[in-house]
Homo-oligomer: A and B are copies of this chain.
Amino acid sequence: MLDQRLMADGLAIDFSHSSEPIARQVARGLRHAIVSLQIRPGEMLSEQEIASKLGISRQPVREAFIKLGEAGLVRIMPQRGTLVVKISRAAVEDARFIREAVECAVAREAARRADAKKVAVLTDSLARQRRALRAKDGGALFALDEEFHRLLAEVAGRPSAWNVIEDVKPQMDRVRYLDMADAIPMSIVIAQHAEIVEAIAAKDPGRAAAAMQAHLTEILRSLPKLADRYPELFEEVTAETSPL
């Protein structure tokens, strides 16, 4: 189906080498376009429009929208339309809360189960991260960071934990993307990764969890600055009264 590469509004999806369902590919492509801010927060999306621009039917696009809606990246309003939600500080902090809870537990578990081979897998990932840093390849670093955290879950024997992280992570990823655009030194991130690996190699669960917590706290530092610098990308903070 459509052996070509299509372009639309900074949305490029390659259908050529695909035995994978189109719906999934569209979801991935849209997620990437949203996370990398090629589609601006607040923008309206239309099943019809995306479908015709990609040369496919509305059905797969619809399923992709549903997936993105569950990830909290778009808000799909029945009979009205679908819009890319703005970055919400509350949502980012909620996602961070989940990540901290899960990934600290993962780090602890990884430290308990560590052996030479598993540690080697992690140190190898670290080496690749350092190479990407020297090459100043931001995109590769982004992907390698993701892989590192996935590997941790595998090492801990809880690969399914990574699935949960993937569900909540997109909220944070847009902020991380802004971080990189502002050229925040990624060397710090890699140093934190190294500390985590070291703690795991030392079979010290407490230290591993602490290192992970420190790592995941990093985003809280940049969040206010970024919300200040790019106010149009963020939800205006409403002085809401908590239901409880």
Q: Which residues of A approach B to under 8 Å, CB–CB? A: 21, 63, 66, 70, 78, 91, 94-95, 97-98, 100-102, 104-106, 109, 117-118, 121, 154-155, 157-158, 160-161, 164, 167-168, 242-244
A21-B78, A102-B101, A164-B164 in contact; A155/B244 too (CB < 8 A)?
Answer: yes
Bound Cα distance from A106 to B39, whole angstroms: 34
- With A102-B101, A164-B164, A167-B164: A158-B94 Cβ-Cβ less than 8 Å: yes
Q: Which residue of B lies closest to A106 (CB)?
A: B101
| Choice from B63, B91, B118, B244 contacting A244 with Cβ under 8 Å | B118
CB neighbours (8 Å) of A100 from chain B are: 105
A97-B105, A98-B102, A102-B102 given; 14 more Cβ-contact pairs under 8 Å: A21-B78, A63-B66, A70-B70, A91-B160, A94-B158, A98-B164, A100-B105, A101-B105, A101-B161, A117-B244, A121-B244, A154-B244, A155-B244, A167-B167
Residue of B nearest to A90 (CB): B160
Known: A121-B244, A167-B167, A243-B154. A161 touches B102 (CB 8 A): no
| 11 A–B contacts, CB within 8 A, in A order | A63-B63, A91-B160, A94-B161, A97-B158, A98-B160, A98-B164, A101-B102, A118-B244, A155-B244, A164-B164, A164-B168
